[in-house]
Amino acid sequence: MSMKPNIVFDMGQVLMDFAPPTFIARLGYTGDDAQALLREVFRGWEWVAFDRGDVTGQDVVDSACSRLPKRLHQAAHDLVFHWWEEMIPMPGARELVTELHEKGYDMYVLSNASQDFHTYFDRIPGSEYLPRERRFVSSDYKLLKPEHEIYELFLKTYSLDPATCIFIDDNPPNVEAARRLGFRALVHRGDPVRLRRELRELGVEVEG
């Protein structure tokens, strides 16, 4: 009998909804102010460096505020430090993780995320089946997907053969990088029915 594959999840847009426009709207900002916050907080180089672990959250705030009008400074702070407080799971994510756990699959997380990951991840429904020792987050290692080094270090850390791993990510370049290293990998496009079908096609025992 063949061994069950290891299931490796990305976090944002796979396990939980990472939607900056929604976070901004939740604070009551619209129009040009909303666009400025989206651009300067979430789409600047600082957010990428935050995920890599090269800067702190306060660094992100300070840099964004240097480009934003003063009336948006508090919003920038709230977005960086509190965006995750109303965590929204992706459709079907909890049910999938729970079913995989019940059927004996080993599961891991491989995510680009800042150090705040360690604060908020337990708020994600289903996270109880994704143990802390199997959560591999970019800012802990100063690496980012789709750099091949992060996948290689992930495999080395857990003594895994990529051929035994099914990697699920919403970003096609991340999936392509994993495939180049021998993972089987899927692009999750937010459709839980499609994801389950594609997992079954790879031999994963999940319901339709």
In this structure, which topology does domain 6-17+88-201 adopt according to CATH? Rossmann fold (3.40.50)
Q: Is 7 helix (H, G, I), strand (E, B) or coil?
A: strand
Q: Give the C-alpha separation, 4 to 73, whole Å.
A: 49
Domain boundaries, the chain: 6-17+88-201, 20-85
Burial 44-72 (b: 16+ CB within 10 A, else e): eebbebbbbbebeeeebbbbbbeebeeeb
- 18 CB contacts (<8 Å, ≥6 apart)? 11, 12
Mean pLDDT for 173-187 is 98
Distance CA 58, CA 54 (A): 12
| pTM, two decimal places | 0.96
Phi, psi of 184, rounded to the nearest 5 degrees: -85, 135
Q: What's the pLDDT band for 131 if we cut at 50, 70, 90?
A: very high
pLDDT at 56: 98
